[in-house]
Amino acid sequence: MNIKVDKASAVPYYHQVKEAVRSQIARGSLKAGDMLPSEFSLSEKLGISRLVVHRAFRELVTEGLLVRKRARGTFVSPPAQRSYNVVGPLLSMTELSKSGVTPQLNVMTQEVIPAPAPVSAGLRLAEEAAVVHLFALRLVDGLPLAVEDMYFPAERFADLVKMKLDNASIYATLEKTFDAHPQQALDVVSAGGATREEARLLGINKGAPVMRVQRTSTDRQGLPVEFSKVVFHAERYQFVARVERTP
């Protein structure tokens, strides 16, 4: 397992170890059932405290990515069986205006950055490849609905960073300018508590319930278009899925 710790970085050591393991799992370098080095051997190799490695492993166990087996060690967890296939139209938030609401988009960050590990994995890019990063607040009828963290491959969508996107439909822009309207998407929906920054933007208390949606979308050619993390105001968002038991 190839993990490095940058001791000159301001990022805590445990977080560097945690994200390095997460990245290797996302990329398939670590597969379900693979055994990780012991906390002692990894800490010796990296020249850091065993408690640092213990915290990184413990948090990954809590997130369901790792599992501890008594007297045996720490292993990559098998895929969780908690997903359902949902068939329906893939709409942008702005397209919801057809349902009678008035959407607004306030783009607060518009930049090109090296892709974080989960983003490069989701978009099938090389590690730290350039991506266009948009951070925005979505409102409906003047009320905060969602905080959107969006990433697009810069090699293909570099001009996004120069465009005026406030109150624009991102999906319509992708279609009109790049001929790349997302055709299919995988959404992972979970619940959680709002961070301080999310609470400030959504007008709720820190720790209040929010819905989190991580989306990876592809276009008509099956090419990756978007990796996004959206945090919804729980009282203004409803996820509806129709599921059917297969024979």
pLDDT tens digit at each of 247 positions of the chain? 788 899 999 999 999 999 999 999 988 899 989 999 999 999 999 999 999 999 999 989 877 788 888 889 999 987 654 444 444 445 455 555 455 667 889 999 999 999 999 999 999 999 899 999 999 999 887 888 899 999 999 999 999 999 999 998 899 899 999 999 888 888 888 888 999 999 999 988 889 899 999 999 999 889 999 999 999 988 777 666 666 665 5
Domain CATH for 51: 1.10.10.10
Specify the CATH number for the domain of residue 152: 3.40.1410.10
* pTM exceeding 0.75: no
Beta strands in the chain (DSSP E): 66-69, 73-76, 103-114, 130-140, 143-153, 184-193, 209-218, 224-233
In a domain, 53, yes or no: yes
Any domain includes 82: no
* CA distances, 80 to each of 67, 96, 184, 229 (Å): 12, 32, 22, 20
Residues 183 and 214 in one domain: yes
Residues 67 and 126 in one domain: no
Q: Say whether both 133 and 44 belong to one domain.
A: no
Percent of the chain with pLDDT over 70: 86
In this structure, are 184 and 229 located in the same domain?
Answer: yes
- 46 shares its domain with 109: no
pLDDT in tens, 97-146: 455 667 889 999 999 999 999 999 999 999 899 999 999 999 887 888 89
Its domain, for residue 136, covers: 94-236
Task: For residue 225, tell me if it sits in a domain.
Answer: yes
In this structure, is residue 61 part of a structural domain? yes
Same domain (yes/no): 98, 213: yes
Q: What is the chain's mean pLDDT, rounded? A: 86
Specify whether the CB–CB gap between 159 and 177 falls below 8 A: yes
How many domains does the structure of the chain reveal? 2
